[in-house]
Amino acid sequence: MIKNSNRAVLCAAAALVVVASPALAQNLGTFALPAAGVDIAIARSGAAVATISGSGLLWVQDSTETGRTITLDPNDYSVVLTRDGSIARLQSATSKSMYEVQLASDLVSLRSYSADTTVLAVTPDEKTILTGLVDNTLLVTTAELYVDLGTVALEGVPRAVVISPNSKFAFVATGVAGNKLVKINISKRTIVQKMRSAGAISRLAIAPNGAFIYATVSRTLSDGSTRHTLEVFDVARGSRVQSRKIQVAGGQPTTFDIEASKSSIYLSSTQPLVVGSREAGVIRFPLSTSTLGSPKVFANPATGAGALAINLTTKKLGVVNTASPSVTFVKIP
């Protein structure tokens, strides 16, 4: 059941701060947030939204780069945005609800679930919503009327999900140890393929042609240290085909995010990533077919970075900054 309610709207112009970043990605602008950002999404139309830690605020930037905020219940939300930038959907791992926000009217709707949610994804054709639940299931729902079509039983909690470009298949990180990647036929709601990683998967990205899945993976070694890797899965072969070590500065826990274009994989970490003698919050792995090249420093030198969002149409990457409450947009190759 969707319950509609109008929420108060706090309007605030986003401060624009242009930051020079020589020898790195071209900076298209850094915009101040009311507080630390959590997640970010970019629409094909150029609109962008970011969620704000602890406050329940949704920061909205339209195509004219005018910023404002919408108030929701306090929580940390992940966010997905429709292609035209008209609807934002927000999900929290500590909530049994999903918010749908009509950005033109600031109309907020609430969808309730039977259990806490873990992940949220919308098919590229925008007809179907996939929601991971803590009861080890993936719920399949129509996007227009929110009719639940059924669930897929998994061997563990859904940890991350990506969807094929043709909207037919979902790839879900799951399993008791978090090291399984399953391919799901969305219309039939059945598992059709299983793959295994070297450790627990935290984030997934999919190649624009749907042929490869990229995963950030972490596992604890015998000496108690943690090894982080970026792994490549070949969908047709149903197996892992490459793994590259990710070096993180210091020994503090970190959170990754990952985005894929045709020519590169972009990886962020809340603790700085190490490439040779340099550190950065965002690094880039060049791609040759499925093969990952050597990583290169890309953005946020000497600091960490938060969530990423990519717009393949405008070749823009959005980065949530950890050194200051802001988001930066950079040009990608």
Q: Could you please report the per-residue DSSP string of 239-286?
A: EEEEEEEE-BSSSS---EEEEE-SSEEEEEEEEEEEETTEEEEEEEEE
* pLDDT above 60 for 6: no
Per-residue pLDDT, averaged over 12-39, amounts to: 67
Strand pairing partners for 311? 316
Percent of the chain clearing pLDDT 70 (strictly above) = 92
pLDDT of residue 23: 55
pLDDT of residue 94: 87
Joined together, the tokens standing for residue 242 give: 């490459």
- Which amino acid is it at 296? K
Convert the pLDDT of each residue in 69-114 to its tens digit. Answer: 999 889 999 999 999 999 999 999 888 999 999 998 989 999 999 9
Percent of the chain clearing pLDDT 90 (strictly above) = 80
Residues 203 and 159: their CA atoms lie apart, in Å, by: 8
Per-residue pLDDT, averaged over 268-286, amounts to: 97
* pLDDT above 70 for 321: yes
Contact 158, 138 (CB under 8 A): yes
Per-residue pLDDT, averaged over 276-302, amounts to: 94
Convert the pLDDT of each residue in 110-145 to its tens digit. Answer: 999 999 999 999 999 999 999 999 999 999 999 999
* pLDDT above 90 for 4: no
pLDDT of residue 290: 73
* pLDDT above 60 for 319: yes
Convert the pLDDT of each residue in 50-69 to its tens digit. Answer: 999 988 889 999 866 677 89
Residues 28 and 23: their CA atoms lie apart, in Å, by: 14
pLDDT of residue 13: 29
The mean of the pLDDT values for the chain is 90
pLDDT of residue 3: 38
**Reported confidence tier of residue 178, pLDDT bands at 50, 70, 90:** very high
